[in-house]
């Protein structure tokens, strides 16, 4: 049966789905192995009994400036414009995040009115270094100044990553910009949307193709031996590779791949999340439980990092949900064990990853490629994951024009 397919993809998340879709479009037969019982990776969502769409692995907000990615996603269902806003709760006060003029005014009872005044306030507080910020601590202190860093970033980061920001790459806190204006949008990208029918439907559309077969509940590592054994017939025609496929795309954690081959001993660190759902009955004068879709809790006295009230998000695509009296709020706890969600960007992990990457690169001679957040050990946003998979496809196959391929037309 393995011989019936040209391409094997391990993982039905974003990277796997994009590659499956692209390869099917150029006539290849694709097998996708997914160890979970559903497609969509961590973007997977479903509608609950109250009609609220909930992401099983935490809220996903799509945003991009990339024209190619934007065109690509629109081939797989409707997207509804949505600009995400986040509030951070400091003591009893909600302040906008990213930091803007209102954040400073609310926290420090200032009366900043203009970008110039905001810049003056920052000039008094920002810490300067003779070099580019190397750690998240340096980045936080130099971008936001000590008082904001200590209130909004230091404790939150400690909770999220279970380490001091000085032990994290600058890129982590660097994800959060600073605004000299009153703009309170979480992202300023040109394109920001929610999928009208949810992320799962978006994945279904990508993977629905006569040449794509998805096998759920199928762990690649359980099947690996079987796959390799079935290679005898194809071995001669496929050169020296140890598998019967033209190409394999692996999207799981890169160190797991090599542990099974027992080539390298050390494991990379990942952070995981635990979700605690809470239902609330809203009083008739209230539409929502909390004032924004996401509330961050920087205080170390609060054990969770943020809460998500999904009704805010569902309402964008289904305004009728506003009348729903029940609402679901999910508390998000950061944990060190469990399903890997985030790579932990720091010097130790980066150098270990480089070792793995060198081994991974050699495997490309056998047609094995590593792609995605876990296999590339990169803190990709959704659009970056899509872009990365598209670029790998272009690199391997060229910029092909396929039948009905509006996207490339």
Residues that bind ligand UDP (CB under 6 A): 88, 97, 152-153, 156-157, 160, 172-173, 175-176, 296, 298
CA distance 42 to 13: 7
Provide, rounded to whole angstroms, the least separation between the CB of residue 210 and ligand UDP: 36
3-state secondary structure 4-51: HCCEEEECCCHHHHHHHHHHHHCCCCEEEECCCCCCCHHHCEEECCCC
Which residues make beta-bridge pairs with 96?
87
Kindly tell me which of 40 and 244 has the beta carbon lying closer to ligand UDP. 40
Q: Compute the distance between CA of residue 12 and CA of residue 207 in angstroms, rounded to an integer.
A: 9
Least distance between ligand UDP and beta carbon 153 (Å): 4
CB of 97 to ligand UDP, least distance (A): 5
**For ligand UDP, the closer CB: 64 or 160:** 160
What angle in degrees, to the nearest 10, is found between the helix axes of 136-144 and 154-161?
150
- For ligand UDP, give the closer residue by CB, 102 or 205: 102
Q: Which residues on neighbouring strands pair with residue 146, listed in sequence order?
A: none
User: Within 13 A of 62's CA, how many CA atoms are on the CB side?
Assistant: 24
Residue nearer to ligand UDP on the CB measure, 241 or 290 = 290
Nearer to ligand UDP, 97 or 352 (CB): 97
For residue 278, what is the enclosing H or E element? Answer: strand 270-281
Indicate if the alpha-carbon torsion angle 175, 41, 51, 272 is positive or negative.
negative
Residue whose CB is less far from ligand UDP, 11 or 98: 98
Using CA atoms, how far apart are residues 236 and 74, in angstroms rounded to an integer? Answer: 42
Q: What is the smallest separation between the CB atom of 170 and ligand UDP, expressed in angstroms?
A: 11
368 phi/psi in degrees, rounded to 5 = -105, 130
Extract the tokens encoding 316.
Answer: 């964008």
Per DSSP, what are the bridge partners of residue 55?
Answer: 45
Residue-level length of the chain: 409
Residue 26: CB minimum distance to ligand UDP, A = 33
Encoding tokens for residue 341?
Answer: 């969600």
Shortest reach from residue 209's CB to ligand UDP, in Å: 31
Work out how close the CB of 157 gets to ligand UDP at its nearest, in angstroms, rounded to a whole number.
4
Q: Give the nearest distance from C-beta 2 to ligand UDP in angstroms.
A: 36
Q: Are the C-beta atoms of 179 and 119 separated by less than 8 Å?
A: no
Cα separation of 60 and 332, whole Å?
A: 13
Shortest spacing between CB 75 and ligand UDP, in angstroms: 26
State which residue, 134 or 175, has the beta carbon closest to ligand UDP: 175
Residue closer to ligand UDP by CB (options 157, 290) is 157
Residue 247 pairs with which residues in a beta bridge?
A: 7
Q: Rounded distance, CA 381 to CA 322, Å?
A: 29
| Coil/strand/helix, residue 259 | helix
């Amino acid at each position: 049966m393995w011989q019936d397919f040209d391409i094997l993809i391990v993982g039905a998340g974003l990277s796997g789905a994009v590659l499956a879709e692209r390869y099917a479009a150029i006539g290849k037969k694709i097998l996708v192995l997914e160890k979970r019982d559903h497609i969509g990776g961590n973007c997977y969502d479903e509608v609950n009994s109250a009609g609220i769409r909930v992401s099983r692995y935490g809220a996903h907000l799509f945003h991009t400036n990339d024209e190619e990615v934007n065109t690509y996603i629109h081939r797989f269902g409707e997207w509804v414009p949505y600009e995400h806003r986040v509030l951070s709760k400091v003591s009893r006060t909600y302040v906008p995040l990213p930091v803007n003029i209102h954040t400073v005014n609310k926290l420090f009872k200032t009366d900043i009115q203009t970008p110039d005044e905001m810049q003056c306030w920052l000039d008094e507080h920002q810490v300067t270094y003779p070099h580019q910020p190397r750690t998240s601590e340096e980045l936080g202190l130099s971008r936001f100044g000590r008082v904001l860093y200590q209130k909004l970033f230091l404790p939150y980061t400690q909770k999220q990553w279970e380490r001091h920001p000085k032990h994290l790459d600058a890129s982590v806190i660097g994800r959060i910009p600073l605004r000299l204006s009153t703009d309170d949008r979480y992202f300023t990208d040109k394109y920001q949307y929610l999928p009208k029918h949810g992320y799962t439907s978006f994945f279904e559309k990508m993977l629905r193709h006569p040449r794509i077969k998805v096998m759920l509940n199928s762990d690649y590592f359980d099947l690996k031996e079987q796959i390799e054994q079935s290679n005898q017939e194809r071995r001669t025609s496929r050169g020296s590779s140890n598998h019967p496929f033209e190409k394999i795309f692996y999207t799981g954690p890169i160190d797991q791949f090599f542990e099974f081959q027992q080539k390298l001993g050390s494991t990379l660190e990942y952070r995981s999340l635990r979700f605690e759902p809470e239902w609330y009955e809203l009083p008739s004068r209230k539409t929502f439980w909390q004032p924004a879709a996401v509330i961050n809790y920087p205080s170390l006295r609060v054990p969770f990092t943020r809460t998500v009230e999904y009704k805010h998000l569902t309402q964008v695509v289904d305004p009728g949900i506003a009348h729903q009296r029940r609402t679901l709020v999910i508390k998000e706890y950061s944990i060190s064990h469990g399903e890997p969600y985030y790579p932990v960007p720091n010097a130790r992990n980066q150098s270990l990853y480089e070792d793995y990457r060198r081994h991974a690169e050699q495997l490309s001679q056998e047609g094995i490629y590593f792609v995605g957040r876990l296999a590339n050990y990169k803190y990709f946003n959704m659009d970056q994951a899509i872009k990365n998979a598209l670029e790998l496809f272009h690199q391997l196959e060229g910029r092909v024009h396929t039948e009905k391929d509006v996207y490339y037309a």
